[in-house]
Amino acid sequence: MKISELSQQTKVSIRMIRYYEEQGLLKPTRTHSGYRNFKKDDIELINKIRLFKEIGFTIEDIRPILHCQLTQISQQEICDQLKHKFSCQIEQIDQMIANLNQAKITLRQYL
């Protein structure tokens, strides 16, 4: 599929898709005329990237996550590091949820 189709299906701009490619997160093939050719799997990949970005991961954090998921062999050390990173991120999310719940309780007092 062309980059424009991928952009439409994922609601991610063409510019951002190109950036993900530059950062090594996407690896499209090229046609004889040089156009990028993406696979259907790239839709899921972009959705994963968006999810990780939404929960606070940087591109530098996401790269090894995707690499670990894609290779899943002889990557135990990287994957263990990711598990630690995930645990830390979960703690941060839990703290954000607690803060939001406290804010909601405070606001309800004024209703």
State the first-to-last Cα distance of the chain, in angstroms, to the nearest integer.
52
Which pLDDT tens digit goes with each residue over 6-48? 999 999 999 999 999 999 999 999 999 999 999 999 999 999 9
CA nearest 2: which of 41, 21, 30, 26?
A: 30
Task: Kindly tell me if the per-residue pLDDT of 75 is higher than 60.
Answer: no
Q: What's the pTM value of the predicted model, to 2 decimals?
A: 0.69
pLDDT mean over 99-105? 97
pLDDT (average), residues 95-110:
96
Domains with residue ranges and CATH for the chain: 3-108 (1.10.1660.10)
Which residues are 30's β-sheet partners? 36
Distances (CA, A) of 62 to 4, 39, 99, 101, 111: 23, 20, 26, 28, 42
Sole residue written with tokens 């696979």: 39
Using the predicted structure, report yes or no on whether residue 68 has a pLDDT greater than 80: no
